[in-house]
Structure formats: C-alpha cells, structure tokens
Amino acid sequence: MVAGRELLLGAVVNFAVAGAIVLPDLSQESFNLNTNTNGRLEVSNADIGHTEILGLGGKFVTNLTQCPAVPPRREPPKNVHDLRPDDFSVVMALGDSITAGAFAAGIQDDIISSWAEWRGQSYAGGGDPNAITVPNLIKHYNSTVKGASLGKNLVAEICVGIALPPIPHYNLECSCTLQEGKLGEWYRARMDGLRDKYNEKLLAIASAYQRLNDPSFAVLWQPANIPLAKFPIEAVSNVDCFHPSTANHERIAAAIWNRLTLNADQRELEFGWTEEVLMRCLEEDDRLQTTAIAD
C-alpha cells in the first residue's frame, strides 16, 4: 500500500518530477498554531486535545486562496538549490496504479468508470480543476506550470472492451497478502522485507545525487510515512479496499506540499489523517532544501 512506499521528488531547474504521498485529526474551525519552548511549530485541535509537532512555521489553510499573496522573486534562481516551489514550470509523475489514481473515485453507477484510473485526481500528477494535487498546489502559485494529467483512463475498456456486460460489484483483494493465519503473516512479512530493500535502494540513489551537489540537478527524498492502521475506512477505495480514495489522494498531496521546504529529518514526520485538508501557505523565503542528505 502507499504507506509502505518511499518516494523521490527530483528537480532540474524549471523541471519537477513530482512523486509523492497525509496530517493529524484537525478541524477547520479549531486548529491553532503555537511555538513551543524548542521553537518548533505545534498544530493543535482544542476539541480533541491532539497536538502534532510539524517542525515548521507558517499559516495553514483549507484552500490556498486564503493565503496572502507571495511577492514575485526579485531575481531568478541562481541554481537548482535556490528553488522555491513556484519556480517549477513542468511536472511529471512516474509510478504505478496508485500514482495513476486507480479506482480513487470509488464505485460509480457506470461499472466501467468504477474501474477507471482517475489520473486527474492523482496526488502526484493530477490536474483536474479544483482537485487537491501536488501539480495543482504548485499551479496556484505558478499558473503556467504544465504536465499535469487530466480526466480518467477507462482501464476496463482496454482490458475487455466497451461491451463489458453489467456485473455485480465484488471487492478485490490480494489473496496472498490478505490471507489469515500463519501463511498470511508470512506473506506480509515477505512483502515488508521486499519493501524495505526497495526503499534502501531508492535512498541510496537519492543520497548519491545529493552528495554530488550538482547545480543543475537535485533529488529530494520524501518518505511515505503513513500509519494506515490509524486511518478511517474512507481512506481506501471501496472498489478494492486497497487503492487510495480521492479523499486520501487529497491528504497525500497536502502532506507532500507541506513538506517540500523541510529538511531531510523533518520530511520523515509521520503523515496523519485530517478531517479537513490543511495546506501551508507559501512564503517568500521558502526554498527546497536540496542539499540535506537523507540517511
């Protein structure tokens, strides 16, 4: 699942490969931003007594239109290590069915659409109007950004053609990983081990590029630290109970956006679930910390 993946965000000057994947239980009406004795920002919800230390200051909103305007840069970036998120002009997402937004919109009246890839809603590459995605959050500050995906891809038509007859809905599951008992535990442990090895390789690649300190190319390492067991059922699609729902894609996108200007240690912070999707307002002095070596 998404929670087990680590993601790379690569950037060339004016070019972003936006890979991605959420915050605690906050409501729009009653969240407060305070600085504790260590100078770290706390976001708290008075109603439920929950506090999460984000490690950054700033204003959090439910819509970026609520943010103050960001003054244009007085001069262009000196190099790739001097980038602000609104410096990106091209976005691209590379990944699998999760990145493609598979089944994100859930069960539809049209059975074919139930099995669609909702690429325009994907946290990583979506560009549908009003969708909360990384490309759209960047686009709020740079209206010229290009590369986001739009609409949906009807996977069912590709697989079986448009003559697909009406069929009842059944939740899909991976029979090997969702088995009960010792065999299921073995399969899940095996998958966890493979995930860890995969992440280890990705981290090595990211660290190698960061140590090069190339002025024209940089890689950001963004762990997908998602405690899925704490998430509500609406975090997954009701088509297969595996792929992230649109609601989860929105929170994933916001979590990535909120961490774009953090250092490597702060980007390790756990993604949590929020009742409202909270996004940090861009500030004039924000920069991607491209030289922070991931450990």
pLDDT at 177: 59
Q: Please give the helix or strand (H or E) that residue 35 lies within, else none.
A: strand 31-35
Per the structure block, which two tokens stand in for 67? 């943010």
**CB contact at 8 A, 249 and 123:** yes
Measured CA to CA, the distance from residue 282 to residue 155 in angstroms comes to 37
Stated pTM of the model: 0.76
Q: Which pair of structure tokens corresponds to residue 1? A: 């699942």
Token pair of 197 as six digits: 């090895």
Lateral strand order in the sheet of 41-45: 31-35, 41-45, 50-53
Other beta carbons within 10 Å of 153: 15
pLDDT in tens, the chain (295 residues): 233 333 334 333 332 333 222 222 222 222 233 333 333 333 333 322 223 435 556 889 999 999 999 999 989 999 999 999 999 999 999 888 899 999 999 999 988 889 899 999 999 999 999 999 999 999 999 999 999 999 999 875 554 444 444 444 444 445 555 667 887 788 778 888 888 888 888 888 888 888 888 999 988 888 888 888 889 999 999 988 889 999 999 999 999 999 999 888 888 888 888 889 999 999 999 999 887 665 5
Backbone Cα Rg of the chain: 20
